[in-house]
Structure 1
Amino acid sequence: MNDDFPVGLLFGLLFLLIALSGFFSSSETGMMSINRYRLSHQANSGQRNAKRVMRLLARPDRLIGVILIGNNFVNNLAASIATIIAIHFFGDVSGPAISTAILTIVVLIFAEVTPKTFAAVKPERIAYPASMILEPLLKLLYPLVWVVNVISNGLLRLLGVKNIDGNGDNLTRDELRTVVHEAGTLIPHRHQAMLLSILDLENVTVNDIMVPRHEVVGIDLDDSLEDILTQIRTSQHTRLPVFKGDINSIIGMLHLRNAARFLSRGEVTKAAIVQEAREPYFIPESTPLHTQLLNFQKQKRRIGIVVDEYGDVEGLVTLEDILEEIVGEFTTDVAGQEQDMLPQSDGSHVIDGTANIRDINKSLGWHLPTDGPKTLNGVILEHLESFPDGPACLQIGNIRMEILEMRDNLITSVSCWPGTRRVLAESDAGD
């Protein structure tokens, strides 16, 4: 061996090259493993390191190009030096083979597995300081990086890859839902539920949450004036629909704040009530909740009349109903829901047949089907495909049910409890 290159110097240079190889390997993993959304937030907050990493990741082909050029250069140079050292100690015949075996193990442990694993676990601790070296190195080696990228990008286009920038990290709704779920303690459970509810607004229509027609409380102008005034004075609602004879003949919506104007007069007439009523606001029953929320805001409304495709009134929906889908039930409605779903000592619940399926699922954590009828009565009748002659048992999904009471072709009371054994309806069992 030439005395100009002593063995000690070669060993030192070899260790330096292995360290540089570990740097490039960890830089590649750290850059590619870093959380892009946290990085974007930090860059928007003005952190220089984050902005520098964002600039490098904007063109991943250039970033990978400069990293691999550096990594291959130091690895090849390390292999040459290791061969020279091995030949010095083991001769020309066995030296190259021994250097290859030893260097492979050393590089694998100290320049690949260890640094890459650390970078995958702590990407920010690697990416931020590495960017201070990689950015000027990219400028220095840009001509070579450009040539490599032109060739590699051409090959990628032949394989069908058109877009090579780093801006393809947009999340779908389902992916965002997963992010919220996996946030754990970083986001309080209550806030997670609200975020997930906002994501679900597009999948829910006003028909799913409206107050059904038969439960709507309003002012019928065919009633006596005395009954109307009593209803206004004792109403628990701040807004009442005004109609004549039938709710399909709706005239307007009366805000009880405006009712004070004619109640303060000595003589009250039905014409005065109509005059204070605001023009009704109609909503198609298939309108998604996120759209209706914006419509309420644009129209400066808080309540709307839900109509079907024929223009018949199906019910009404309020701004509060939509907000409850996001933040949960308000305390003013809890008592009403508890009356619809009465828990029993044996773990079952006696549920009103008119109870909304979505409300049942949310309150009890069940998974009754919501893509068909909206009430428990409708779901049972759809399952049975006929009106039962009397009390009957059935099972829908993993929920077992016993019909307790029927009135006027309407199931009014059902006992429900989770179970796994299918119970046939008595009407079927008797065949």
Structure 2
Amino acid sequence: MIVLKTNGSTRQIYSFKGEGFMDADGHSPKPQKGLFAKWFGKSRENVTEEEILMMVDAGEEEGVIEQSQKAMINNIFEFDDMTVEDVMTHRVDIVAVAEDAQISDAVYHAINDGFSRIPVYKEDIDNIIGIIYVKDLLCLVGCKAIEDFSLQQFIREVLYVPETTKCRDLFKQFTEKKLHIAVVVDEYGGTAGIVTMEDLIESILGNIQDEYDDEEDEITKINDTTYTMEGSADWDDVADILGLEVEENPDYDTVGGFLIDSLGRIPHEGEHPVVKVDGVEFTVLVVEERHIAKVRAVKTPRVSQPE
């Protein structure tokens, strides 16, 4: 049995019962005799994280483990080292309402943006004072005097966490306090972003599509050489799709961050700068509120040098 122990809790991922792997639900993907023994020897009872990941790689190559299952196992190990800064929604993308806003403003965001919890700020986004739960406003549905009610009557307290908080620790806080959202603050006390329980779960399972999410992918293939993508698209995913060999850079993790780093500045709205790297031409299509929102990438044919 392969188990992962994180923060005191043990989770079974795969069992090995001689004939092959079996997932936590008891399903055996495909028999593969002797894979565990082949890699680690029959007498081994405890293996390291590196050995498990090596076995998972081998299992995928031999058809025992599907690619999605491999990704999930890798994500579980990575989750132990992730901070909320890695998974949060950045402050520029936060949808929030002012404390003196009308209740209809909160209802508007609930309907049009599909949010069930909306941050409330005082004066500016750096001072988030609480959260509005849309379900609390349902009692006002059909009320003709809805604007006679103050939004402040429905503000709930919010959890604040620093950017360096480990995702595993926040997950524990969420479950213990029965919360689903927290405000992430930077070292100066300003708002860095917000993080939800869904963000934490998606860091392991991948994107969870609900009834309010747009069906559009962050990366869209136009043809064999052209792609469009959101500025928030994961840079590693973009590099893989385009066949780019890139080194890990702690300064950015999105294609928008890569382009800003390459340009050395944030493009202005209406500007369409181009960045070329290893036969791929990136063009900034849309800039909104000081961040890159839309990008086009075109793979250009490489010109062979004459001998």
Q: 1:384 aligns with which of 263, 276, 280?
A: 263
Contact 1:281 1:305 in 2 (8 A): yes
Secondary structure of the residue aligned to 1:309 is coil
Match of 1:371 in 2: 250
Shift of 1:314: 1.4
**Cα distance in 2 between the residues matched to 1:299 and 1:362:** 39
Aligned to 2:297: 416
How far apart are the structure 1 equivalents of 2:172 and 2:245? 29
Question: What are the superposed Cα offsets for residues 314-365 of structure 1, whole Å, 9 maximum, x if unpaired?
Answer: 1111111111121221233874652x42212133212233434366468878
Instruction: After TM superposition, give the deviation of residue 312 of structure 1 in Å.
Output: 0.9
Question: How far apart are the structure 2 equivalents of 1:248 and 1:376?
Answer: 26
Gaps of 5+ in 1: 1-36, 40-119, 128-165, 423-431
In the alignment of these two chains, the number of paired residues is 262
Task: Give the structure 2 partner of residue 290 of structure 1.
Answer: 168
Question: 2:96 & 2:261 partners in 1: Cα distance?
Answer: 30
Indicate the RMSD between aligned Cα atoms, in angstroms.
Answer: 3.8
CA distance in 2, matches of 1:326, 1:364: 24
SS state at 1:291 partner: helix
> Which of 389, 403, 408 is equivalent to 2:283?
403
Distance 1:330 1:239 in 2: 17
Q: Which protein is richer in helix relative to its size?
A: 1
Aligned pair in 2 of structure 1 residues 348, 272: CA closer, same or farther (>3 Å)? same
Letter in structure 1 aligned against 2:116: T
Partner letter of residue 257 of structure 2? Answer: G
Amino acid at match of 2:131: M
Is residue 307 of structure 1 aligned with residue 185 of structure 2?
A: yes
Which of 142, 165, 180 lines up with 2:56 in the alignment?
180
Percent identity between the aligned chains?
A: 24
Aligned-partner Cα distance in 2 for 1:390–1:236: 31
Distance 1:354 1:326 in 2: 18
- Paired with 2:250 and 2:272, the residues of 1 have a C-alpha distance of 27
1:324 aligns with 2:202: yes
Instruction: Please state how far the C-alpha of 1:413 moved relative to its aligned partner.
Output: 3.6
Structure 2 stretches lacking a partner, 5+ long:
1-14, 18-36
Change (3 A) 1:417 1:190: same
Code of the aligned partner of 2:280: R
Structure 1 distance, partners of 2:164, 2:176, is 19
Q: What do residues 382-406 of structure 1 show as CA deviations (whole Å, max 9, x unaligned)?
A: 12334678532321xx572322436
- 2:220, 2:59 → 1: CA distance? 35
SS state at 1:316 partner: strand
The CA deviation string for residues 186-233 of structure 1, in whole angstroms up to 9 with x for no partner, is 444433322221111123222122111122112223434544444445
Of Structure 1 and Structure 2, the greater strand share is in 2
Residue 409 of structure 1 and its aligned partner are, at CA, apart by 6.0
| Cross-structure match for 1:213 | 91
Give the TM-score, by structure 1 length.
0.51
Q: Does 1:274 align with 2:152?
A: yes
Higher radius of gyration, 1 or 2? 1
1: CA distance, partners of 2:48 / 2:262: 35
* Aligned CA distance change for structure 1 residues 199 and 406 (closer, same or farther; 3 Å): same
Cα distance between partner residues in 2 of 1:269 and 1:416: 47
